Amino acid sequence: MQNIIKNTIGLKAVMLVLVGLMLTGCYATTNQVKKDMIVVGGCASGGLIGSNVGSGSGRTVAIIAGTIGGCKLGKAAADKVVDTDQ
C-alpha cells in the first residue's frame, strides 16, 4: 500500500514539474529569458525524476545524473523552441 501511495505522489510530482516546464516558455518575454527558464525547468525535472530512482548513495548518483541530463535536454529543447519562435 505504501509503494502505491509513494508511486502516485512521485508521478504527480513529475507531472507537475513537466507542466511547469512547459509553461515557463510562455511566461518569458525575451528569447534569452525563455532559454534560461526552459533549461532551469529541465534541470529541475531531471533532478526530480532522478530522486525517484534507487536508494542510498545510488539515489544521490541518480539525482545528479538526472539533473545533468535534464539540463542537457532542457538546453536542446530551449534551442529548438526559441529558434522556431523567431
pLDDT at 68: 92
Kindly report, residue by residue over 46-76, the tens digit of the pLDDT.
888 888 887 888 888 988 998 999 999 989 9
Query: Which span out of 2-6, 37-41, 66-70 was modeled with the highest average pLDDT?
Result: 66-70
Q: What ranges do the domains of the chain cover?
A: 2-85
How far does the chain reach from its first CA to its final CA, in angstroms? 50
Kindly report, residue by residue over 11-33, the tens digit of the pLDDT.
777 777 777 666 665 655 667 77
- DSSP letters for 31-62: HHHHHHHHHHHHHHHHHHHHHTS-STHHHHHH
